[in-house]
Amino acid sequence: MNRLFFRHLSNLTKKHDFLKINQLRQRGLLLTNLTPEILDSNDSVVKLFSKCNINICNDDVHIMRTRFGYPLGKALVLIDRMTPNYDFKFDNPNNDSEKSYENLFQPSKNLDFTNTTSLRLVYNSIIENLPKESSAYLCDEHEVSCYVEQCERLLTLPNDLRRLSNPDLLHRVVTITGAPRSYGRVELSNVIFDITKVQVDPKNIIFRFKANGDQDSLAWVICNSDKDVNTIISKIQEVPIPRRYQYGSLMGASFLYSSRSSFFLSHPSLDFITNRSKYQIFTMGWHSDVDEAELRTLTDSLKFYPKEIKIFKIDSKDPGKSETCAFLEFDRMRNTKKVMVRLQMIKNRWKIPDHSGFYAYPRIADVWWKSDNGCHYNDSHFNADLDEPVEY
């Protein structure tokens, strides 16, 4: 009977909405795909819940916004005061099965439960008053803290990206992919230490964000030395981790991979260089004496035939030395991808280690930018000819 009851609760559906119950001890309600009118202020969300006969205050609402104040369609509402938490006493040997079964359906007496509406009616009322395309998800305490942390990291992302573009950190950044959304900086730092015994400051872990504000599965890790970089890359390859950090192995596994596939550069001469054309390749590691004429002769001999070459100098791993980098521009994406394949063949022929950078696809490392016409997403103009992310 109790199994059917919880199965019914976990499959509450109304119109195009879906309410997912993760567990019985809930702390917050995450609303997604909300309209900008509802997220104009916290008062609008409070009024939305007042239609459901649920009283909340402004401090119970947290809206995800960009650094320009633009809402991203998400809001978290604390629900401790409007939904009961159940008192489980299965650990107590003095409780018999009947008492334990009763505790499954009875709210704790110590809770200040002011709403007399049943749990099912509260959820149905919330779903009924949400917009048709919106969704609601119940969140536990860990998910609430992750959401608040993600909102903070989204606001500080430009500063973190500028820190990544420090020339001294060019060869000390590791790209980790496959991190689930339930992982924040602290959780990923703990996983890295458990696997590699390399201590990483949580502040040196920067997650990528999607255009809708969702945390991506890709994170950049700033290591203390090149030795730590090589250790992480050698040990974190298809490493299984819990998909839901707070539940351990109960909710399946995800797999982490590490590589040196992302390089960050920042210089006034590189401003808007990627806006000029999306058919470019960035190559690095050439001798400091190589100039544009020599590099063009080399690329023509390799049958690359770039339309334009821009030389850029960076500091080498060896102190007191520099190396030459270049942006190779082509006339179409087909030629760009062909050259990437040839560069990979050259990398294998010259026996360049996999963890050493040789070429990459340049993109603007930012999420939002603001102009006179409003806020825009930086990477939108890259999606025309790319059917899948370019990662080699």
Task: Give the mean pLDDT of 372-378.
Answer: 56
Over residues 75-126, the pLDDT tens digits come to 999 876 555 544 444 444 454 444 433 433 344 444 434 333 455 666 677 7
pLDDT score recorded for residue 9: 40
What does pTM read for this prediction? Answer: 0.75
pLDDT score recorded for residue 369: 60
Residue 264, domain member (yes or no): no
Instruction: Please state, in angstroms and rounded to a whole number, the distance separating the CA atoms of residues 257 and 236.
Output: 6
**Same domain? 140 vs 15:** yes
Task: Give the mean pLDDT of 134-158.
Answer: 88
**Same domain? 70 vs 168:** no
Instruction: Please state, in angstroms and rounded to a whole number, the distance separating the CA atoms of residues 21 and 192.
Output: 30
Bigger pLDDT: 265 or 92?
A: 265
Q: Which domain holds residue 347?
A: 269-382
DSSP state, 328? E
Residue 349, domain member (yes or no): yes
Instruction: Please state, in angstroms and rounded to a whole number, the distance separating the CA atoms of residues 18 and 74.
Output: 15
Output the average pLDDT for the chain: 78
Report residue 74 as tokens. 């998400």
Instruction: Please state, in angstroms and rounded to a whole number, the distance separating the CA atoms of residues 191 and 90.
Output: 31
- Over 80: is that where the pLDDT of 379 sits? no
Residues 6 or more apart whose CB falls under 8 angstroms from that of 106 comprise: 86, 87
Beta carbons of 368 and 67 less than 8 angstroms apart = yes
Residue 105, domain member (yes or no): yes
**Best-predicted range by mean pLDDT (109-113, 233-237, 246-250, 352-356):** 233-237
The rounded percent of the chain whose pLDDT value lies above 90 is 27
**Same domain? 276 vs 189:** no
**What is the maximum span of the chain, computed from C-alpha positions, in angstroms?**
85
Residue 244, domain member (yes or no): yes
Of 240, 259, 278, the residue at which a domain comes to its end is 259
**Same domain? 13 vs 144:** yes
What does 120-144 look like in DSSP terms, one character per residue? HHHHHHHHHHS-TT-EEEEE-HHHH
Q: What total number of domains does the chain contain?
A: 3
Over residues 172-211, the pLDDT tens digits come to 999 999 999 999 999 999 999 999 999 999 999 999 988 7
Distances (CA, A) of 196 to 128, 190, 193, 212, 231: 49, 10, 5, 33, 7
Over residues 294-346, the pLDDT tens digits come to 999 988 898 889 999 999 888 777 777 788 899 999 998 888 999 999 999 99
256 beta partners: 239
In this structure, the strands spanning 253-259 and 237-242 are antiparallel
Distances (CA, A) of 276 to 102, 208, 248, 279, 343: 68, 24, 47, 9, 23
pLDDT score recorded for residue 104: 34
**Same domain? 57 vs 168:** no
- Over 70: is that where the pLDDT of 19 sits? no
Of 148, 177, 198, the residue at which a domain comes to its end is 148
SS3 state of residue 9: helix
- Over 90: is that where the pLDDT of 49 sits? no
Residue type for position 392: Y
Query: What is the arrangement of strands in the sheet containing 71-78, beginning at the earlier edge strand?
Result: 13-14, 17-20, 135-139, 28-32, 71-78, 61-65
Task: Check which CATH number belongs to the domain holding 252 and give it.
Answer: 3.30.70.330
Instruction: Please state, in angstroms and rounded to a whole number, the distance separating the CA atoms of residues 324 and 287.
Output: 6
Of 105, 127, 148, the residue at which a domain comes to its end is 148
Bigger pLDDT: 31 or 246?
A: 31
